[in-house]
Amino acid sequence: MAIRKVAVLGHPVLRKVADPIPEKQITSEPIQSLIQDMVETMFEYDGRGLAAPQIHVSLQLVVMLWDFDEGVDPYLKVLINPEIEPLTQETSTVGEGCLSLPGLRGDVTRSNWIKVRALNEKGERIGFEAKSFAATVIQHECDHLVGKLYIDRMTDLTRLAFSKEYGRYLSEGTELGGGTPEA
């Protein structure tokens, strides 16, 4: 397993629509190794989640540290070929960061309740609902699979700042402020 280099803003891989992974390939050694590399890279860069395009691989694959279920120990969640459906028109605005935009943070408004359908690392179909910050993290990571970055979703670029200044000056009035980990 290996820690991979993270693609940063300006690299074309971040603007491509990623290819789906054929179901029969999910349990193959190359895909399983990719998942492990993504997990190691996510932890090395202190991320909350990571999408394959962020490590220069244009495939529909996301790994996330899932610690949103009260009373349940954190675990790894893998989403392959995910589909997201908003379940409400209610939104939340969160100061998001991204490993592909190191050192920056900005306010993004997203649906705060979604339904997710995907395949897991075993190729099994999964479906679940996510609310609040969990929904934000999933939407952020899945945006990478369609060539979008959080800055594309910002409506007020005056709310984009370096992380230190965001935490110091802009975090008031946002749901989680400057202390949210980068994804």
Q: Which are the catalytic amino acids? A: 141
Tell me the three-class secondary structure of the chain, residue by residue: CCCCCCCCCCCHHHHCCCECCCHHHCCCHHHHHHHHHHHHHHHHCCECEEEHHHHCCCECEEEEEECCCCCCCCEEEEEEEEEEEECCCCEEEEEEECCCCCCEEEEEEEECEEEEEEECCCCCEEEEEEEHHHHHHHHHHHHHCCCCCHHHHCCCHHHEEEHHHHHHHHCCCCCCHHHCCEC
How far is Cα 31 from Cα 60, in angstroms, rounded to an integer? 11
